[in-house]
Structure 1
Amino acid sequence: MGLMNWLGGELVDIIEWTQTDDSTMAYRFPRYRNEIKFGAKLTVREGQVAILVNLGQLADVFTPGIYELKTENLPVLSSLQHWQHGFESPFKAEVYFFNTTDFLSLKWGTKQAITLTDQTVGLIRLRAFGSYTIRIADAAVFFRKLVGTDGNFEIDEVSEHLSQALVARFSEQLASEAFSISTLASKYSELASSVTKATATEFAAYGLEIGQLYIENISLPEKVQQVLDDKTGLTILGDDLGAYTQMQAAKGMESGGSGSDMASAGVGMALGMQMAREMTQENDPVIPQLPKTYYLMVNGQRVGPLALNTVQDMLLNHDINSETMCWKKGMKEWMALEMMSEFETNAIPPPFSPSSQR
């Protein structure tokens, strides 16, 4: 190999990164012991940032553009390596490229159900999942916190941690908001916005920024969902228990051998819901009826109030008779006992006298 070929193989004069995939977040240019030629061209494309690193220490940062690597545009590296004015020798430095475009369709989801208090049904367990996008907002911070000496940093190396952070903040935000499962679907955008704000500081600590957060579904336990579906069926049928029972029986017949089991389950569910509805229904309060009371005129004196059975006992004992005047609430005037239907004065035997034995 000639001298010129040897020099050409050792000195790097063009530095660039042509990305071939959408999963790489950071890439170290493969210099491998080769020195960078003074005046080499550094090409940083749109959606990229480049950083020069000297002996593990971050030096100069380059945004999109084409640069000729000389002392005037390498102020930090010149200072670190103590270059004098007019320095034109080859130098050693590591060049890292960072992909600053959006990383799309990253998944998040709850591995365990979240226990919350619903306004309608009380304690309930929910699961949720969705997707999100992120991008590198500060390449220097991202390099210090995550990349280090990794020459090919992939999104998979950090996405699991980011998803866990999203789930934690999602659970906190959901617990802090008063919600009802009946209206939860209409709150997806509002909830996603609050979770995005809650994670902003945590993501920024890694030099990252969350773009969009999507909540695709918040699901209820299967049994709770079945109860809600049945309640919806009852509402459509106008709370007709008979119609609902027939509907469940028909479903059971369609399913073949398990028809009777499904029909029984449907009837049991319907009866249970009917009983629950009756137990929780707000009925008018029952006002107890007070016993009727009576007033009598006995020997020119008003006597009372007296209960019905008391007046009857007085009749049987002949303390009063059928002509005794009586009044009760609702009557316009006094009248004789024999004129009042509740007293059967004709069924009362006359007083006993010895002459009746003859």
Structure 2
Amino acid sequence: MAFFKNQFSNVVEWEEFRDDMIFWKWSNREIKKGSKLIIRSGQDAIFVNNGKIEGIFQEDGEYNIDSEIIPFLSTLKGFKFGFNSGMRVEVLFVNTKEFTVKWGTQNPILIPAPQLPGGMPIRANGTFNFKVNDYVRLIDKIAGMKDSYLVDDIKIRITSVLDQLLMKWISKEGKNMFNLQANAYEIAKGIREDLDMEVMDNGMTITGFQVMSFNYPQEIQDMITKTASHEMIGNLQKYQQVSMTDAMASGKSHGGGTASDMAGMMMGMNIANEMMKNMNANQNQASGGGNSNAPQGGSKPNFCPNCGAKNEGANFCSNCGQKLG
């Protein structure tokens, strides 16, 4: 029975393909005469013998191993299939696509800040991209010891050093702790370069790293939002007035009954009147302020409008008799 079994051809292909699998190894089986190799789109097939690469095949399609593959293998060109024999060669299938992985800090990162002795607790999230680019290193460091390798394995490797890299690049050159999003591109660029060095020895490269957002503690975010709203108003002297008005409008300022509600209404009206007075005063200043010699509230003019004689507060001009009051 074994005699006939050894003559049966087999198919060498990626049997357990998954989108999140970086490589998969076809091993511990004989390649027999008449066997076929199937390479699908987005895959490379690497023939390995005793840890050494014999040949790399990148074009997708179906191949006869003994006539189309063996003649091109580096040290196995002289191999001849015997009638009942086979050849033990490992075939490593590699996913050639660029992988995109989401990341996020599991715990807040304490970024040193002069204003906060314990540091500023910040969370961040985004994505990074990577792909295999060096088969020799991949086999030497990983594939020589593993039968498969998943994207999650790389994600664990990346996230284990990501907190330290975020601290490094956020703190570098005194970045504004309250406006990190403005420096997100520069921070991400520095982290990508460091991560590329981290995975280079494993035969991979980081092709992209993005920071989608930085998240502050809620009380810090509330402070930033309120400060921004006051800046938009343009008059920081009205901080208390605006805060009181916001509280009343949102219902967060509750009274103890009709009397307190009326007091609140009166306070709101007073604030509104005060703001209108200030607006009118600003408009008058912008328009030039008016004639300083004009009568103010019934007072007598300093000079007679008829003859120009100086007036000392009399109702009639002492020079021409013009009525002044």
TM-score interval (norm. to shorter): 0.5 to 0.7
> In percent, how many aligned pairs have the same letter?
19
**Pairs within 5 Å for 1:147-158:** 147-158=143-154
| Alignment deviations for residues 12-69 of structure 1 (CA, whole Å, 9 cap, x no partner) | 3x3222664311111122x554x212464323334222222334x2332413125554
Query: 1:75 & 1:169 partners in 2: Cα distance?
Result: 43
Q: What is the match of residue 96 of structure 1?
A: 92
Contact 1:108 1:164 in 2 (8 A): no
TM-aligned CA deviation for residue 207 of structure 1: 1.0
Q: Helix, strand or coil for the counterpart of 2:112?
A: strand
Contact 2:46 2:92 in 1 (8 A): yes
Tell me whether 1:221 sits opposite 2:211 in the alignment.
no
Distance 1:74-1:168 versus aligned 2 partners, 3 A rule = same
Which letter does structure 1 place at the counterpart of 2:71? Answer: E
Q: Which runs of 4+ in 1 moved over 6 A?
A: none
Which letter does structure 1 place at the counterpart of 2:21? Answer: T
Q: What is the match of residue 47 of structure 1?
A: 42
Distance 1:213-1:86 versus aligned 2 partners, 3 A rule = closer
Contact 1:37 1:91 in 2 (8 A): yes
Contact 1:24 1:152 in 2 (8 A): yes
TM-aligned CA deviation for residue 136 of structure 1: 1.3
**Pairs within 5 Å for 1:186-225:** 186-225=182-221
TM-aligned CA deviation for residue 215 of structure 1: 0.4
**Pairs within 5 Å for 1:18-167:** 20-29=17-26, 32-33=28-29, 35-38=30-33, 40-55=35-50, 57-65=51-59, 68-70=64-66, 71-76=70-75, 78=76, 85=78, 87-89=80-82, 90-109=86-105, 111-117=107-113, 124-167=120-163
Query: 2:159 & 2:129 partners in 1: Cα distance?
Result: 11
Contact 1:50 1:97 in 2 (8 A): yes
Which letter does structure 2 place at the counterpart of 1:72? Answer: P
| Alignment deviations for residues 302-350 of structure 1 (CA, whole Å, 9 cap, x no partner) | xxxxxxxxxxxxxxxxxxxxxxxxxxxxxxxxxxxxxxxxxxxxxxxxx
Query: 2:223 & 2:195 partners in 1: Cα distance?
Result: 35
Query: 2:251 & 2:37 partners in 1: Cα distance?
Result: 75
Query: 2:140 & 2:116 partners in 1: Cα distance?
Result: 48
TM-aligned CA deviation for residue 101 of structure 1: 0.8
Which letter does structure 1 place at the counterpart of 2:247? Answer: A
Q: What is the match of residue 241 of structure 1?
A: 239
Higher relative contact order structure (alpha carbons within 8 Å, sequence separation ≥ 6)? 2
Contact 2:53 2:136 in 1 (8 A): no
Query: 2:33 & 2:79 partners in 1: Cα distance?
Result: 11
Distance 1:108-1:161 versus aligned 2 partners, 3 A rule = farther
Work out the number of aligned pairs and report it: 246
Which letter does structure 1 place at the counterpart of 2:43? Answer: Q
Q: What is the match of residue 323 of structure 1?
A: none
Max Rg structure: 1
TM-aligned CA deviation for residue 175 of structure 1: 1.7
Query: 1:127 & 1:95 partners in 2: Cα distance?
Result: 43
What root-mean-square deviation, in Å, do the aligned CA atoms of Structure 1 and Structure 2 show? Answer: 3.3
How high is the TM-score relative to the length of structure 2? 0.64
